[in-house]
Amino acid sequence: MQFATRPPTSPMATTAATATFVASPSTSSFSLLPRRRFLPPSSPAARRCAPPRCRARLRIARQVAVGSGVSASPDVAAEEAAAAPKVGKRVRVTAPVCVHHVSKAPGLELRGMEGVVKQYVGVWKGKRITANLPFKVEFELKLDGQDKPVRFFAHLREEEFEIIGDK
């Protein structure tokens, strides 16, 4: 018994009806995915997709916008120079700061703890960023029942700590 067939009406039906299957190079079984076909440039589906050369132009425009080679302004350089002597110094937290990201001691109060300033993150690649807690400070916490102290970082403002000496 034979059934009457009619020609496909949609572009997807055309692709599915004429799909060819290729053998996978790693196994002897056939792949169930249809072979990729290129659309003629005059087809409506090809006009909806962005051509590769347009994507390349966008990539170049992004690179120019981000990496334009603009030097740091004098106020940003002065800010970075003012923060540089604090990096590597030993500090004590003077403000009531509570952190919750230390898994071994949740809800840890930092007031009175001592740590070392590791980095100033208010300037990145010569540009000022909106870091409201710009000093990255490393702390060590000795817990009962553990041989090694727990090391963690916290970001602080300049007003929340005092310098007590070098590392």
* CA nearest to 119, candidates 138, 101, 92, 91: 138
- DSSP classification of residue 139: E
All domains of the chain, ordered by start, with CATH?
74-166 (2.30.30.50)
Of residues 18 and 62, more confidently modeled: 62
pTM of the model: 0.55
pLDDT band at 83 (very low <50, low <70, confident <90, very high): confident
Rounded-to-integer distance, Cα 121 and Cα 80, Å:
9
Query: Which backbone phi and psi does 30 adopt, to 5 degrees?
Result: -85, 145
- Is residue 31 over pLDDT 70? no
In DSSP notation, 68-87 reads --PPPPHHHHHHHHHHGGGT
Q: What is the pLDDT of residues 124-163, one digit of tens each?
A: 888 888 889 999 999 999 998 889 999 999 999 999 999 9
Helices (H) then strands (E): counts for the chain:
4, 11
